[in-house]
Amino acid sequence: MILGTSAAAEDTALLTDTIRSVIRRTDPVDGRAERVYRDGPVDRDLWAVLGTEIGVGALAVPEAAGGLGASFADVAAVLELLGAELCRVPVLSGVVAAAALSRCDGAPRAAELLAGIATGETVVATVVTAPGTDPGFRAEHVGDDVFVTGRAGFVVDGDVADTVLLPAVDESGTVGLYAVDAAVLTSERMDTTDATRILSRVRAEAAPATVLAERAPLGWIHDRAVVALACESLGVARTCLANAVDYAGRRVQFGRVIGGFQAIKHMLAEVSVAVELAESAVAHAVWAVVEGSDDDLAEAAAIAALACGDAARLAVEKNVQVHGGIGFTWEHTAHLYYRRALTSGVLWGSGDDHAQRLYALAAAGAATSSEASTDPRQEPASAVLSSTES
């Protein structure tokens, strides 16, 4: 659970308990693996309840735009729950899109899309671009009209979205954010490891677009997306740890429960430490979203991605090992969690990518501090001595 005041924690717990009861009723754990491969990566029955009746999509939408304007701590807790249950609903894409659209002040189309996300009637996907990389799209202005050309892969919910948000470079070299109706795009579902999530290739060929922001905060959007994904990964890690502990306490081998064996104890203890680190990283990232600066968010997002990615990978691997032979079967959900962790671990940057960005942020911060320092007590000893002698 994300850290907060006791009153806020109670409200968040009530919210997640309500959503969990709906999930367990509509998509129970028993038979979930069979339903995933039978129905595909979209559970429309569950989304009809969560999106339309419960209003999960409205949590991340500002109240002024027709949403609930919930705190990001609530949003993070719900994302963690959806990750824990491997829910096949377009909530992650909605949270990322709502964050991007919230930075498009004064754009009528942005307000329309936010209202659609809040009611659950509109699915909005976002092309998330890593800081400092080419967005892959070009925008051409013809009179009052704008047309976008380009392509991108690994777009979450791209081929079930009604609208896609695209970052594109215009004639002046400025990167803006554009909304493009899915009807004028070519979308293709990718064949990926994770059977519980839709990832798509999206291509635009002179597609009519609407300008949402002439200067897109691509780094900020990327960081918000990474934090949201880290919350999901934390849910995956915690559930796999809980499942492994539960099974180890029930499975009897050689006349005793396997949880009593030293090797199993050490294995689960290692996962527990990783999960605790991930929880702390997510709590810090939630603070950065709510109260921190953009620099705080960038740093916290990289830390959360590293911690939660590592915890999820470790937890899913040990969960399969603890379950032994049954953990490798197609009917068990262990392999679904394993696949989700593998995909999420590279979706918006690998562990190496996040580590390198964290290093770059730290180096940039150190350089800035060094340049800004005028206090002799913070100067190198040689500089202080030379100034004294002169």
Task: State the average pLDDT over residues 335-344.
Answer: 96
Q: Would you say the pTM of this structure is higher than 0.85?
A: yes
Closest CA to 67 of 36, 106, 94: 94
Tokens of 390: 């002169």
Predicted confidence band of residue 369 (pLDDT cuts 50, 70, 90): low
Domain coordinates in residue numbering, the chain: 1-122, 124-216, 219-368
**Could you tell me the fold of the domain covering 219-368?**
Butyryl-CoA Dehydrogenase, subunit A; domain 3 (1.20.140)
Residue 138 has a CB neighbour count (10 Å cut-off) of 16
Separation between Cα atoms, residue 342 and residue 326, nearest integer Å: 20
Number of helices (H) and strands (E), helices first, in the chain? 12, 9
Residue 119 has pLDDT above 90, yes or no: yes
Q: How far apart are the first and last CA of the chain?
A: 59
Q: How far apart are CA 387 and CA 390, in angstroms?
A: 5
Indicate the range of 118-132, 308-322, 324-338 predicted with least confidence: 324-338
Please give the CATH number for the structural domain made up of 1-122.
Answer: 1.10.540.10
pLDDT value of position 61? 96
Better-scored residue on pLDDT, 177 or 251:
177
Distances (CA, A) of 156 to 100, 283, 352, 360: 14, 24, 21, 27
Rounded percentage of the chain residues whose pLDDT exceeds 90:
82
The per-residue pLDDT of the chain, averaged, comes to 91
DSSP, residue by residue, 151-190: EEEEEETTTT-SEEEEEEE-TTS-EEEEEEEGGGSEEEE-
Query: Has residue 366 got a pLDDT over 90?
Result: no
- Mean predicted confidence (pLDDT) in 116-130: 96
Q: Does pLDDT of 276 surpass 80?
A: yes
**Three-state secondary-structure class, residue 68:** coil
- Band (380; pLDDT cuts 50, 70, 90): very low
Q: Do domains 124-216 and 219-368 have the same CATH topology?
A: no
CATH superfamily of 124-216: Butyryl-CoA Dehydrogenase, subunit A, domain 2 (2.40.110.10)
